[in-house]
Amino acid sequence: MEYFDTLIVILQSTVRVSVPLILAALAGLYSERAGIFDIGLEGKMLAAAFAGGAAAAVTASALIGLAAAIFVSVCLALVHGFASITQRGNQIVSGVAINFIALGATVILGQAWFRQGGRTPQLSGDSRFTTVELPYAAEIADIPVIGSIYSNLLSGHFMLTYLAFALVPFTWWVLYRTRFGLRLRAVGENPGAVDTAGISVTWLRYRAVICCGILCGIAGAYLSMAMTAGFVKGMTAGKGFIALAALIFAKWKPVNVMFACLLFGFLDAMSIRMQGNELPIIGVVPVQFMQALPYLLTVILLAGFIGKAIPPRAGGVPYVKER
């Protein structure tokens, strides 16, 4: 049972660290399916984490913090949309600019407002999200195997965790079972045909980047108001880029995105668990190597070991309406 309990702990940690990856990857899915490549996921998550942590610290309300995080993230998404859709600018440059702006502005504003070296004050009580216990979790906790899975693995997570996993089938339904999803996928493949059908390509793409902003806002709020108790500078630590890698690895499909993010989360959880422990034959693995495992996997997957991943044909290409 000792090994089983260890496995449950690792899987619980996997779920916890996978949530921001799932939300960010789904955000990129909406945007890229519409033909807008968004490398600014990292920046929007970071700005949202700061906005959520700052608003929650000031108002002592987690819901207000969540609303602030979503608002800031959507604003940055609209900036990216204006540069990429309306002005037909380079989408990569726009996304990189958002990353740099968020990286610098969060530290400067954090220092100016709170005088804690770029951090926000520690959150507690109603100012942060708390875990949710599922019904009868305590009663069946002592039952072998089933009790441990239900009480420790399925129960005891944040509400945003359950929301993230619920958004996976919801996103699948939106993309493949609704008129909006059909048009969204069409505008990412052949915007000219969508325009010919009398549907506004611009408005569809703006709605896609707004969806992207909302999901990045929730991801940022999770980082600063659930996973930790406040904002710390650079706390996204490349999660936006890992989410992009997971999105490519999953070939822009919602369910595959979830499993790809869980894979990255599992490696992250393993790197935390195995630090300083001896492995058979190998011995003690350096801490730095274990910490680098998720990023090494990112490089390996993007190097082409997953087969050919074909993005939406109109991705990254500004649409110019034919006259």
DSSP per residue over 66-87, as a string?
HHHHHHHHHHHHHHHHIIIIIS
| In contact, 76 and 134? CB cutoff 8 Å | no
Q: What is the mean pLDDT of the chain?
A: 88
- Structural domain range at position 96: 20-239
How far, in Å, CA of 224 to CA of 216, rounded? 13
**Does 282 fall in a domain?**
no
| Position 118 in a domain | yes
Q: Does an H or E element contain 223, and which?
A: none
Cβ(109)–Cβ(87) under 8 Å? Answer: no
Q: How many domains does the chain have?
A: 1
Could you tell me whether strands 131-132 and 157-158 are parallel, antiparallel, or unpaired per DSSP bridges?
Answer: antiparallel
**Cα atoms in the 13 Å half-sphere on the side-chain side of 176:** 10
pLDDT in tens, 293-318: 777 777 776 666 566 677 787 777 77
Distance CA 96, CA 108 (A): 19
- CA–CA separation, 290 and 271 (whole Å): 5
Domain assignment present for residue 314? The answer is no
Spatial contact of 168 and 158, defined as CB atoms under 8 Å apart:
no
* Position 315 in a domain: no
* Cα distance between residue 7 and residue 171, in whole Å: 30
Distance CA 206, CA 73 (A): 14
Q: Report the pLDDT value the prediction gives residue 313, as an integer from 0 to 100.
A: 79
Q: CA separation (Å) from 264 to 26, 41, 49, 127, 131?
A: 15, 17, 21, 29, 23
pLDDT by residue for the chain (323 residues), tens digit each?
567 778 888 889 999 999 999 999 999 999 999 999 999 999 999 999 999 999 999 999 999 999 999 999 999 999 999 999 999 989 999 999 999 999 999 999 999 998 888 889 999 888 999 898 888 887 887 888 888 888 888 888 999 999 999 999 999 999 999 999 999 999 999 898 888 888 899 999 999 999 999 999 999 999 999 999 899 988 998 899 989 988 988 889 999 999 989 988 888 888 777 766 666 666 677 777 777 777 777 777 666 656 667 778 777 777 777 65
Q: Measure the CA–CA gap between 194 and 207, rounded to whole angstroms.
A: 15
Alpha helices in 230-253 (DSSP H): 239-249
Task: Report the 10 Å Cβ neighbour count for 149.
Answer: 15
Any domain includes 82: yes
**Any domain includes 297:** no
